[in-house]
């Protein structure tokens, strides 16, 4: 697995807010940054990285191709624009952000374009995001499992996404969890708070540790330096089997991200 266990998410963070978040994260020891073309923050992230003292080869940058750029004639052009904004010669991981609405552009077309981008050295790895079992199969059929670094999906204690996760595991496809804290809702859960108290940890640390112990990568975001530092400590928290079983009971298929006209038919 090449995708780092923990990285910094930047969804909904823009301008000076995202610059400060990235700067703090890099100073604290984060080395993976997750962004997307649609976030409108690639340029600000590029500034923060350029102003840091971190060597480019020590970073793991992820961006995602927006749905308007999924055709073979736009993937590489749009990726080059992302490279310019991020002030780098290559992306470590480039994902299809969402499957093309109404299958307007086939998974095959976009995956082959991403493979071409990889051959050109524009991206080191490629992957997918918000893909169902059917769509994962299409991606694998096109480029082979060895060329798909991850499927980045919404996954939290309240949406454990078992069908997708189990299928991915059976096919040796890595999962990256986004919205792991469920917009903060999971932090207020009594079971999670009790586990946190038991380990002298924060609720966020418990949730992130839970996801990582299941083998997922996580990309929590924060605008507060103390929360960024605290989240990073989740990598050393070890939950026991009882903790894991208790969190497993919280599954309620509570999906928070399902934009109309964009979301596929979920499993």
**Catalytic member of 30, 39, 178, 216:** 39
- Verify whether residue 183 is a known catalytic residue: no
Where are the strands (E) in the chain, listed by range? 8-9, 32-34, 60-65, 91-96, 123-129, 151-154, 175-178, 217-218
d(CA 86, CA 34): 12
Are 106 and 96 within 8 A, CB to CB? Answer: no
* Radius of gyration of the CA atoms of the chain, in A: 18
d(CA 28, CA 124): 25
3-class secondary structure, 252: coil
Are 79 and 123 within 8 A, CB to CB? Answer: yes
d(CA 125, CA 92): 6
Q: Any idea which residues carry the catalytic annotation?
A: 39
């Amino acid at each position: 697995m090449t995708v780092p266990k923990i990285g910094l998410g930047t969804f909904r963070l823009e301008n000076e807010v995202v610059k400060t978040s990235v700067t703090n994260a890099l100073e604290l020891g984060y080395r993976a940054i997750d962004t997307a073309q649609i976030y409108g923050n690639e340029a600000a992230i590029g500034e923060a990285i350029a102003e840091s003292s971190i060597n480019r080869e020590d970073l793991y940058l992820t961006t995602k191709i927006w749905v308007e750029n999924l055709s073979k004639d736009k993937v590489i052009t749009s990726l080059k624009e992302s490279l310019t904004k991020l002030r780098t010669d290559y992306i470590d991981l480039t994902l299809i952000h969402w499957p093309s609405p109404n299958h307007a552009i086939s998974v095959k077309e976009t995956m082959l374009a991403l493979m071409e981008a990889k051959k050109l050295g524009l991206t080191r790895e490629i992957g997918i995001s918000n893909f169902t079992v059917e769509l994962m199969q299409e991606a694998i059929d096109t480029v082979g499992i060895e060329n798909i670094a991850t499927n980045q999906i919404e996954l939290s204690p309240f949406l454990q996404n078992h069908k997708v996760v189990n299928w991915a595991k059976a096919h040796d496809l890595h999962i990256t969890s986004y919205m792991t804290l469920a917009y903060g809702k999971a932090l207020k859960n009594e079971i999670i708070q009790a586990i946190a108290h038991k380990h002298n940890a924060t609720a966020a640390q418990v949730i992130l540790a839970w996801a990582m112990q299941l083998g997922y990568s996580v990309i929590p975001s924060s605008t507060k330096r103390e929360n960024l530092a605290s989240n990073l400590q989740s990598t050393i928290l070890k939950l026991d089997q009882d903790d894991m079983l208790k969190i497993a009971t919280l599954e309620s298929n509570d999906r928070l991200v399902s934009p109309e006209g964009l979301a596929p038919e979920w499993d």
